[in-house]
Amino acid sequence: VIFAAGGRPKRSGVKGENEFWGRGVSTCATCDGFFYKGKDVVVLGGGDTALEEAIYLSRICNKIYLIHRRDEFRAAPVTIQHVKENPKIEIITPAVIEEIKGDNSGVTGVSIKDTKSGEVRDLAVFGVFVFVGYDVNTQILKQPDGSMLCECDEWNSIKVDLSMKTNIPGLFAAGDVRVQASKQVVCAAGDGATAALQAIAYLEHH
């Protein structure tokens, strides 16, 4: 069995997010960052992915507003340090986005709220990058007792080796369902090819 059910980025639920999804709201800086060259953007999130993508965008965009609802980030200390030392990144915490605004051309700005003072202010930006988590489609692997069929991490991403093998003989996982997946189509396709070759080898030896 090759399990390749994929996953999807979580949405923030902010007003205007669905309306401008794909028209200024994105979950992939690597994919869409170039469209905002020299412009101001917002990054929403406080984990490793959010901070790493903010650093990536700082090489392309004019300014990045990094917004997180808590005072502290849930990222590696070295990544946090890089963000704090980056002159293009302005950290806004603790704060939430109240609304993503725009027109027929796409996103034109956001309203943000300081969760301590209650102060609301507007930022003129052309893009909003949302990194608030990722859902992997591994629910079908859940057993009646609540455990997973194969070994997974705390987010239920499947643990595999370089051959895409799980800890269950004959079960392989490929693409975004596996741990440390890069969430890129070309990488998922490579995983699938590796898993297919390994599955053939497994059948030939059994």
For the question of residue 28 being annotated catalytic, the response is yes
| Per annotation, catalytic residue among 28, 114, 135, 187 | 28
182 CB-near residues (< 8 Å, 6+ apart): none
Closest by CA to 134, choosing from 114, 119, 156, is 156
31 is catalytic: yes
Q: Give CA separation, 18 vs 12, 15, 23, 99, 102, in Å.
A: 10, 8, 10, 11, 12
CB 110 within 8 A of CB 97: yes
| Percent of the chain whose pLDDT exceeds 70 | 100
Check 32, 48, 114, 135 and give the catalytic one: 32
Helix/strand/coil for 5: coil
- Residue 158: its pLDDT value, please? 97
Average pLDDT (95-120) is 95
165, pLDDT greater than 90: yes
Q: Which domains does the chain possess?
A: 9-134 (3.50.50.60), 138-204 (3.50.50.60)
**Mean pLDDT, range 132-145, rounded to an integer:** 94
As a whole number, the mean pLDDT across the chain is 95
pLDDT value of position 133: 87
pLDDT band at 182 (very low <50, low <70, confident <90, very high): confident
Question: DSSP letter string over 157-199?
Answer: PBP--TT-B-SSTT-EE-GGGBTT----HHHHHHHHHHHHHHH
pLDDT score for 59: 96
CA atoms within 13 A on the CB side of 69: 9
pLDDT tops 90 at residue 184: no
Q: How far apart are CA 192 and CA 172, in angstroms?
A: 9
Percent of the chain with pLDDT over 90: 90
